[in-house]
């Protein structure tokens, strides 16, 4: 299948430090990929480069075959590259319904003109309600975010991302900070993501990685040192060396 998302020879340095060092990868619709790496490997920098929040020194990013290296972050969202909204960026006084409705309006290019009226727009609110229902948040749709549990806020991030109708979804540690009792709901939401969506998940929790990903990419010191199956990742000597055994041990136990 042809690539929906491609990164070619991406490079970025800070001072003398090559934080993203010639990274290339390609994803097809429906891919479930985990991007892992030790602390400081360059995962966040990589995501910021591909989303357009940071400029690369060299290299290319393509969405659906179109080069977007010079397109800004909003333009990349419009082309279908969506990063999960962070809990820290949710508005505490707004409700889940308002968050998702605003994302629907943004997707349709109507956010600027309609702000203030959108709660009265039946189509928009129906779509928001349906998305929140799929994520088990329907009962909380009209409560302010500050009143809902952290795990549910993380589900709301996914709902907001899905409202933008992504073709490629970047998930940044979707279960981080969520109590063990609620991680099952996050995993279910990940399992229920649309089949044709390409998903790249950054995650430290190796149990989640092994349950979710069909392919694992390992970044270490800004370089891809492994790109292959979950079954092979823990056997790879370079990966073991990068993690000094810690994740490799976790993987063989999984
Ligand atoms: N704006 C910046 N200026 C200077 N150095 C930076 C900047 N951003 C990141 N770095 C450095 O780049 C390296 C990679 O950082 P990055 O946050 O991308 O790693 P990471 O893999 O996401 O780490 P973690 O898993 O701990 O979140 C680190 O050494 C970091 O200090």
Q: Tell me the average pLDDT across 99-104.
A: 91
Residue-wise pLDDT tens digits, 239-248:
998 886 544 4
> According to the model, what pLDDT value does residue 162 have?
96
Supply the pTM of this predicted model.
Answer: 0.90
pLDDT of residue 140: 96
Residues in the chain: 254
- Lining residues, ligand 1, CB within 6 Å: 14, 19, 37, 39-45
Q: Is 70 exposed, middle or buried (0-12, 13-18, 19+ CB in 10 A)?
A: exposed
Percentages (nearest 5) of helix, strand, coil residues in the chain:
45, 25, 35
Residue entry with tokens 């981080």: 176
Q: Give 253's pLDDT tier (boundaries 50, 70, 90).
A: very low
Cα 236 versus chain centre, distance: 25
**Cβ(156)–Cβ(99) below 8 Å:** yes
Domain ranges of the chain: 1-80+166-254, 92-163
Among candidates 162, 179, 181, 178, which has minimal Cα distance to 170?
A: 162
3-state secondary structure of 4: coil
Read off the pLDDT of residues 27-40 as tens digits, 9 standing for 90 and up.
999 999 999 999 88
What span, in angstroms and rounded, lies between the C-alpha atoms of 91 and 141?
14
**Alpha carbon nearest to ligand 1 atom 28, residue:** 40
* CATH of region 1-80+166-254, choose from 2.60.40.1180, 3.40.930.10, 3.40.50.300, 3.40.50.10470: 3.40.50.300
Determine how β-strand 198-202 pairs with β-strand 66-67: unpaired
Q: Strand 58-63 and strand 5-14: pairing?
A: antiparallel
Q: Which residue's CA is the closest to the ligand 1 atom numbered 29?
A: 40
Closest residue by Cα to atom 23, ligand 1, is 40
């Amino acid at each position: 299948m042809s690539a929906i998302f491609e990164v070619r020879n991406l490079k970025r340095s800070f001072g003398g430090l090559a934080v993203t060092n010639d990274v290339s990868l390609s994803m097809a619709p429906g891919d479930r990929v985990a991007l892992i790496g030790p602390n400081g490997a360059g995962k966040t920098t990589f995501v910021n480069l591909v989303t357009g929040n940071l400029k690369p020194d060299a290299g290319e990013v393509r969405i659906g075959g179109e080069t977007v290296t010079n397109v800004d972050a909003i333009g990349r969202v419009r082309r279908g590259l969506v990063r999960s909204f962070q809990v820290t960026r949710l508005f505490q006084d707004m409700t889940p319904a308002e968050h998702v409705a605003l994302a629907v309006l943004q997707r349709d290019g109507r956010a600027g003109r309609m702000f203030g009226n959108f709660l009265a727009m039946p189509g928009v609110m129906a779509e928001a309600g349906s998305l929140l229902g799929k994520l088990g948040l329907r009962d909380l749709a009209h409560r302010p975010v500050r009143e809902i549990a952290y795990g549910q806020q993380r589900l709301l991030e996914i709902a907001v991302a899905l409202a933008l109708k992504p073709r490629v979804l970047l998930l940044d540690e979707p279960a981080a900070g969520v109590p063990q009792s609620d991680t099952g709901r996050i995993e279910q939401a990940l399992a229920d993501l649309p089949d044709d969506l390409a998903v790249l998940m950054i995650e430290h929790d190796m149990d989640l990685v092994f349950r979710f990903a069909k392919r694992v990419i390992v970044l270490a010191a800004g370089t891809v040192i492994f790109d292959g199956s979950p079954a092979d990742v823990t056997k790879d000597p370079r990966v073991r060396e990068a993690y000094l055994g810690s994740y490799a041990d976790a993987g063989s136990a999984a």
